[in-house]
Structure 1
């Protein structure tokens, strides 16, 4: 079972920072980060549409330049909001990285930043439009459809992922039922479930047959699935 660090293990580190992803890469099989475009056009790593929750400033990410974002203080780390380029450089090439694309219109630019030496990249999104753009920009890169069941049932999500030629389904903990996992597997997809906080959650998901957990902390995985 894969262990993927959600935002660089957001429960134990300052999420989506260089510190978080660097530390997470020491223990996880993969790192997941969120990607948006800032006001000066660069792709940056931050979850929310605004900087309010994680910095000492306020306002939409799209209203800040890269220089502005670099000068902010993310979660009292003294670090600014990193660029995607900086995060890709910080995570060792042998560690998987999942890019959760939070906006439309950024897929091609994200792909353009990927080094030829980086072999394990997955492009993920809740948006069908974004995933379709990922397929157009880089059909060779695996895609993951993220779902929490708010827009469709788990089984419907499998159909959406199939239609988008996804290699992965990323369902929430509650959506990742045995039935959904089995249907995804029959379609040739791997399943990484989120967000996992405890070894008990990981054990439950292992029993349901999931292939990986996207976790907020470095949880212990069931021995039978390590």
Structure 2
């Protein structure tokens, strides 16, 4: 099973920061980060639509300039909210990057940033239209469809989008036959978000190809 560092192992480092990615890159097979557009137009790495949870500031990411976001303090660590370019530059050679696109209108720029950094990426999203935009920007960029128990026919959706992988919430792997169905459709399965070694073990038995995890100790 591959180990994919969720937000750069969010339980062990300030999530979605350069420091987290540098650390996780030495420990994981791939690093997952979240991508949005900030108020000055650049792509930045942030999970939430607002900065409220991870900094002492308030407001939407889209209302801050890149300079303002970099000056914020993520979870009291001194790390700022970084541009995507800085995060891609921090990834060690040989480590894949999972770019989760959190909004529409960023696909083409995200793919271009990965190409410029010469980093091996795959792109995931909950929104099928976002994944279609990735395919339009670069048909060669691998994609993964994110799904939960609420989704109808996720395997068919992923296959129809031409995805390389399906990224289901981990309970979906444990209580349904989605792993086998996905494999039959030629899709890899990476389950999220795993926080306990016991759950990782159960997912291994289920045959998942990777776990998107908050901690490196799950290996």
- Normalised to the residue count of structure 2, the TM-score between the two structures is 0.96
Q: Tell me, what secondary structure is at the counterpart of 2:134?
A: helix
Structure 2 unmatched ranges of 5 or more: none
Q: What is the root-mean-square deviation of aligned Cα atoms in Å?
A: 1.2
Alignment of 1:111-126 (within 5 A): 111-115=111-115, 118=118, 120-126=120-126
The match for 1:205 is 203
1:84-108 superposed Cα distances (whole Å, 9 cap, x missing partner) = 0000000113101000000000000
Structure 1 unmatched ranges of 5 or more: 222-226
Q: Distance in 2 between matches of 1:180 and 1:214?
A: 17
Alignment of 1:62-141 (within 5 A): 62-115=62-115, 118=118, 120-141=120-141
Q: Is the 8 A contact 1:8 1:20 kept in 2?
A: yes
Greater than 4 Å deviation, 4+ residue runs: none
Structure 1 position 118, deviation (Å): 3.3
More helix by share: 2
Q: Distance in 1 between matches of 2:121 and 2:75?
A: 27
1:69-125 superposed Cα distances (whole Å, 9 cap, x missing partner) = 111111111121000000000011310100000000000000111236735210100
Q: Is the 8 A contact 1:148 1:175 kept in 2?
A: yes
Q: Tell me, what secondary structure is at the counterpart of 1:165?
A: coil
Structure 1 position 211, deviation (Å): 0.4
Q: Report the count of equivalent residues.
A: 218
Q: Is the 8 A contact 1:10 1:217 kept in 2?
A: yes
The match for 2:179 is 181
Q: Is the 8 A contact 1:93 1:117 kept in 2?
A: no
